[in-house]
């Protein structure tokens, strides 16, 4: 299963609403996760089962979708949110990741 | 607090072998599946392999099948990745990861760098 993320990069300002999409090449029900990764660090789980917020993750992050189309939304971008975001499907092996979306400062 | 710590990375020539380890602490290691994920320099994440909690089920990325072997020692709380016939394209930071609090990859190690170069 291939995951296509868009955009591959974006520039935004603090306070902006940011939306990242992830499209699966075939249906994966809700077996999708979103991760945040900062340079030199391991990825951090933000959202799992497409829309469940991981414990400790700020509520400005939200996820939606099922089947083949998914969305990660940051309602009000904060300085610590500038990072790269990845989706991952766990519907079948291999558990592929999307290509990533780098969120930069405008 | 659950912790995963990888080791064993380094510089190796093409065609040679390397074994990575991932030591787990603060969790009931024998209860969880364990995964390896890699990230080539300035590239995205790539899932590599998984082993079930008891070692009975194993899956690999196609490009590493026949060259890499995932295994675990539940008595030592340690996950392994034996990498043979290494290629330049295997150069990456290798992370171990596990679903502990959720069914997803909620715990990660810090990663260990493998560089395949002559």
For residue range A24-80, list pLDDT tens digits in order.
999 999 999 999 999 999 999 999 999 999 999 999 999 999 999 999 999 999 999
B111 near A CB under 8 A: yes
From A33, A42, A90, residue closest to B108, measured CB to CB: A42
Q: Which among B83, B84, B95, B82 has a CA at the least distance from the CA of B39?
A: B95
Q: CA dist A8 to A33, A50, B81, Å?
A: 17, 20, 31
Bridge-based pairing state of the strands B34-39 and B58-60: unpaired
Contact B106 A48 (CB under 8 A): yes
Give the single-character DSSP code of B100: S
At B30-42, the pLDDT tens digits run 999 999 999 999 9
Q: CA dist A98 to A43, A86, B24, Å?
A: 13, 6, 27
Q: Which residue of B has its CA nearest to A87?
A: B45
d(CA B84, CA A85): 31
At B5-57, the pLDDT tens digits run 999 999 999 999 999 999 999 999 999 999 999 999 999 999 999 999 999 99
Nearest Cα of chain B lies from the Cα of A89 at a distance, in angstroms, of: 10
Q: How distant is the alpha carbon of residue B107 from its chain centre? A: 13
Q: Which residue has the tokens 């945040």?
A: A36
Taking residue B112's Cβ as centre, other Cβ atoms within 10 Å add up to 21
């Amino acid at each position: 299963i291939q995951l296509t993320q868009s955009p591959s990069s974006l520039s935004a300002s603090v306070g902006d609403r940011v939306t990242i999409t992830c499209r699966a090449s075939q249906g994966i029900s809700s077996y999708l996760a979103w991760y945040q990764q900062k340079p030199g660090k391991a990825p951090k789980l933000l959202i799992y089962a497409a829309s469940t917020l991981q414990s400790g993750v700020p509520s400005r992050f939200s996820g939606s979708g099922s089947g083949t189309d998914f969305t990660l939304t940051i309602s009000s971008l904060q300085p610590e949110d500038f990072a790269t975001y990845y989706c991952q499907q766990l519907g079948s092996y291999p558990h592929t990741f999307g290509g990533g979306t780098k969120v930069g400062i405008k | 607090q659950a912790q995963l710590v990888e080791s064993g990375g380094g510089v190796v020539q093409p065609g040679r072998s390397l074994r990575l380890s991932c030591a787990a602490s603060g969790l009931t290691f024998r209860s969880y599946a364990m995964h390896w994920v890699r990230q080539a320099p300035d590239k995205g994440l790539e899932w590599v392999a998984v082993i079930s909690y008891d070692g009975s089920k194993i899956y690999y990325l196609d490009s590493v099948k026949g060259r890499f072997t995932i295994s675990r020692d539940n008595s030592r709380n340690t996950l392994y990745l034996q990498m043979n016939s290494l290629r330049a394209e295997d150069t990456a930071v290798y992370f171990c990861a596990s679903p502990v609090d959720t069914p997803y990859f909620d715990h990660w190690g810090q990663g260990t760098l493998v560089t395949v170069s002559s």
